[in-house]
Amino acid sequence: MTNSFRFRMEEISYPSKLVRLAPVKHRIGLLSLVLSVCSAIAISSTGFAALENNPSVAAALKAAIDSPQRSAENKARDKYRHPFETLTFFGIKPEMTVIEIDPGGGWYTEILAPFLNDHGKLYEVVGKGPGAKTFEDKIKADPPVYGKVIVPPPSATIVDVPADSADMVLTFRNVHNWIPRGTAEDYFKAFYRALKPGGILGVTDHRASSSEPQDPKATNGYVRQDYMIRLAEEAGFKLAGTSEINANPKDPRDQPVWNLPPTLRQGEKDRAKYLAIGESNRMTLKFVKPSK
């Protein structure tokens, strides 16, 4: 197993309540926990195994990541966001129908659009935020790359696509924004409706320390991993795997996440310190909608 799939026991508190070491008479329960962890580790490697058996898919994904429409600024962040490893872990394939939620400036869209262009379908759920016009302009500026991307109008249902129609829903560093608005549960329910049975939900976000209680407002932008898992499971999803692809042990997680790159909200104040830390410590979680 590669270093990309290091698992940290401190982050596991499953289900949503913290697991405490059991006395001798409860060793069976502890054994079950260990077995469940081992199962998650085994599941997490299946995406890479699939690509090893399908080199054409791996080549297509690498080509999309290396494609010329990606800006140099975005490519420079690959060392923090690991797009090849992340999308491979989620199990993406070029013939899938994929929905990306809140794409921001389109960092992942630059990869997903060419990868899915010939055989798949890409929905970008943008919403009404201040960046909606910027994203629209980006899509319109390059029809050969983005001409087939579908941007549904803002909808009360969040994801305005037919129910049970998508193979994969992806959202990158967004859930921490929904928690203070009280809409996170609605988003996960919408993802569940949109996905086919057996469909995949891929989530990354800034990971809070498991030693601290979850801030109900996610004030610093961090979310506990067990809290994220609970949100998904309460919507009906099953955890299919976790990965340390996007972990950063240098992140002390004792400051607002926006102090770190790429935002660097403090400007020149402590800039060298935050650049040395790099981007945030992130969880990478894969969920599945159970087959009926």
Lowest mean pLDDT among 100-104, 131-135, 282-286: 131-135
Instruction: Note the pTM of the prediction, 2 decimals.
Output: 0.83
Does the 3-288 domain belong in CATH 3.40.50.150? yes
Q: What percent of the chain has pLDDT over 90?
A: 74
pLDDT tens for 55-89 read 899 999 999 999 998 999 999 999 999 999 999 99
Cα–Cα distance for residue pair 274/259, rounded to 1 Å: 7
Tens of pLDDT, residue by residue over 20-65, are: 333 443 443 443 333 333 434 444 444 555 555 588 999 999 999 9
